[in-house]
Amino acid sequence: MNDCIFCKIIEDKLPAYKVYEDEKFMAFLDIAPVNPGHTFVVPKKHFVSLSDVPKEYTADFMTVVKKVGDAVMEAVGVEGFNLGMNNGGVAGQIVPHVHMHIMPRVESDGLKLWPSKKYSPGEDKQVAQKIRQALGQDHEEN
Ligand code: AMP
Ligand code: ZN
């Protein structure tokens, strides 16, 4: 038996304020919003994190996020929103069913983006090389 709370919401076994549904995706309000209108877009099928989401879902995922994001902005009367997705416990993922946060923003909300660090000399070049390698794009030397 699947204990996932988002699967239960999708299957109508737990209450939520649903705002969108199509064949593959659903959107509903976060129970503890950063601002009113904070909404999730989730695939209706259970995938834990973005790494588990198959290619047939990825483009449609962003299409739905844009559609719902635009509607949220209009509905709550804001001019911007942040997208957020926590992938893995180390990244703060609490609910293990992949979900994109749409977080409406207002000037006075006091939310801050993440803090930044500095690379040590040469570290950035090395890291970029490793990422290119992982992507199979390591043919170029720069
Ligand atoms: P995270 O996995 O870090 O993205 O965090 C889980 C998010 O799910 C938090 O923002 C919670 O407020 C939200 N949440 C937890 N339970 C529910 C629920 N039953 N309905 C709606 N949102 C929920
Ligand atoms: Zn689930």
> Is there a contact between 52 and 88 (Cβ–Cβ < 8 Å)?
no
Q: What pLDDT does residue 2 have?
A: 79
- 125 within some domain: no
- Is 142 a residue whose pLDDT tops 70? no
CA distances from 25 to 5, 18, 43, 89 (A): 16, 11, 4, 23
In angstroms, the first-to-last Cα distance of the chain is 51
Ligand 1: centre distance to CA 99 (Å) = 9
Ligand 2: centre distance to CA 45 (Å) = 7
User: Domain range spanning residue 39?
Assistant: 5-113
- Is 140 a residue whose pLDDT tops 70? no
Instruction: Read off the pLDDT of each residue in 78-90 and give the average, rounded to a whole number.
Output: 97
* 16 band by pLDDT with thresholds 50, 70 and 90: very high
Closest residue by Cα to atom 12, ligand 1, is 32
Chain-wide mean pLDDT for the chain?
95
* 138 band by pLDDT with thresholds 50, 70 and 90: confident
Q: What pLDDT does residue 15 have?
A: 98
Ligand 1: centre distance to CA 33 (Å) = 9
**Strands 18-21 and 100-105, how do they pair?**
unpaired
Give the chain's largest Cα–Cα span.
Answer: 54
Closest residue by Cα to atom 16, ligand 1, is 31
User: Ligand 1 pocket by C-beta < 6 Å: which residues?
Assistant: 5, 14, 16, 30-32, 86, 92-95, 99
Q: What pLDDT does residue 51 have?
A: 97
Give the pTM.
0.94
**Has 101 been annotated as catalytic?**
no
- Is 141 a residue whose pLDDT tops 90? no
- Helix/strand/coil for 21: strand
Strand partners, 81: 104
| Structural domains in the chain (count) | 1
- Is 5 a residue whose pLDDT tops 90? yes
- 104 within some domain: yes
Q: What pLDDT does residue 1 have?
A: 52
**Strands 100-105 and 39-43, how do they pair?**
antiparallel
- 70 within some domain: yes
- Is 57 a residue whose pLDDT tops 70? yes
Centre a 10 Å sphere on the Cβ of residue 3 and count the other Cβ atoms it contains. Answer: 7
- The CATH number for 28's domain is 3.30.428.10
